[in-house]
């Protein structure tokens, strides 16, 4: 550290104290996903279809991993802990909700993004390009016409993802203006302690390794064309 920050002025989350909110898995998946979505856009836009396909496969592995971690991971990573019904969302909007992790409204955004990216990967897997040069690893599971339609939808569906990203960034900006920084917890994993919230229960490292292995294993099987379904 070349620059000394007076302790009193530094936000708690930046100096390693405060309470844990996002474990390493959640943060790594978040930033890798952001980077890979950016790379996927760039590689498609500039004709690097081969890299684009690999990027999509990497996203698939990430999604599988994050999906599993959503059931067996740390408490704030679990779907069961943050996916709430309309009543809780209404209570949150009235200011009567306290908790650690995704708030009930933000959870909808998380789910929407997750599902939208999963749909995008699914469409890409069965797509073929216009020239018959590049194909998604599962393109032979569907007809040639379906692969063409999947490609067109895949291109159009990016606008849905883009809209959700804009919403995501707008929400971060609004919280920022209201005095709440959501970006630094996603980097440091910590947030200023709030009274009346239960602490995060961390996940187990070996469970994370098992989930990584499953994610990579399924992805490799998909890359191989999901034998024996496409022969």
Partner 1 sequence: MRAALFAVTASLVLVACGGPQTSQANNVQANMSNTASPPATAAASPAPAPSFTPVSGDQAKQVMHERHEGMETIGKASKAIKRELDASTPNLATVRENAAKIADLSQKASGWFHAGTGPDLGKTGAKPEIWQNEQDFAVKLADFQKAAQAFNAATTGNDVNATKSAFGDLGKSCKACHDKYRSEMHH
Contacts with partner 1 by CB under 8 A lie at: 47, 128, 130-133, 135, 139-140, 144, 147, 225, 231
Q: CB atoms < 10 A from the CB of 221, how many?
A: 12
Helix (H) or strand (E) holding 190: strand 190-191
DSSP class of residue 143 equals: -
Which of residues 69 and 139 has its CB atom nearest to partner 1 in the complex? 139
Q: How far is the CB of 144 from partner 1 (least distance, A)?
A: 5
Q: Which is nearer to partner 1, 143 or 170 (CB)?
A: 143
**In whole angstroms, what is the distance from residue 120 CA to residue 164 CA?**
13
> Least CB distance from residue 140 to partner 1, whole Å?
6
* Nearest approach, Cβ of residue 150 and partner 1 (Å): 13
Q: Give the phi and the psi of residue 101 in degrees, each rounded to 5.
A: 100, -155
Query: Nearest approach, Cβ of 42 to partner 1 (angstroms)?
Result: 15
Based on CB atoms, which residue is closest to partner 1, 43 or 147?
Answer: 147
Tokens of 231: 């022969």
Sign of the Cα torsion 50, 56, 61, 62 reads positive
Element (H, E) at 19: strand 19-20
Q: Smaller CB distance to partner 1: residue 95 or 228?
A: 228
* Residue 126: CB minimum distance to partner 1, A: 12
Sheet strands (E) in 50-171: none
Q: Which is nearer to partner 1, 4 or 231 (CB)?
A: 231
């Amino acid at each position: 550290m070349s620059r000394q920050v007076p302790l009193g002025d530094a936000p708690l989350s930046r100096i390693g104290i405060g309470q844990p909110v996002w474990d390493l898995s959640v943060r790594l998946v978040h930033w890798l996903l952001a980077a890979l979505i950016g790379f996927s856009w760039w590689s498609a836009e500039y004709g690097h279809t081969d890299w684009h396909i690999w990027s999509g496969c990497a996203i698939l592995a990430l999604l599988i991993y994050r999906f599993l971690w959503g059931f067996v991971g740390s408490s704030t990573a679990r779907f069961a802990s943050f996916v709430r019904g309309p009543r809780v969302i209404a209570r949150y909007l009235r200011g009567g909700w306290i908790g650690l992790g995704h708030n009930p409204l933000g959870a909808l955004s998380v789910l929407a993004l997750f599902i939208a990216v999963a749909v995008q990967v699914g469409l890409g897997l069965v797509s073929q390009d216009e020239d018959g040069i590049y194909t998604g690893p599962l393109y032979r599971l569907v007809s040639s016409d379906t692969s063409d339609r999947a490609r067109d939808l895949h291109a159009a569906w990016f606008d849905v993802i883009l809209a959700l990203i804009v919403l995501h960034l707008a929400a971060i900006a609004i919280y920022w203006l209201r005095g709440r920084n959501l970006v630094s917890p996603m980097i440091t994993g910590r947030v200023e302690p709030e009274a009346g919230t239960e602490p995060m229960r961390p996940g187990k490292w070996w469970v994370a390794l098992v989930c990584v292995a499953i994610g990579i294993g399924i992805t490799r099987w998909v890359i191989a064309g999901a034998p024996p379904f496409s022969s």
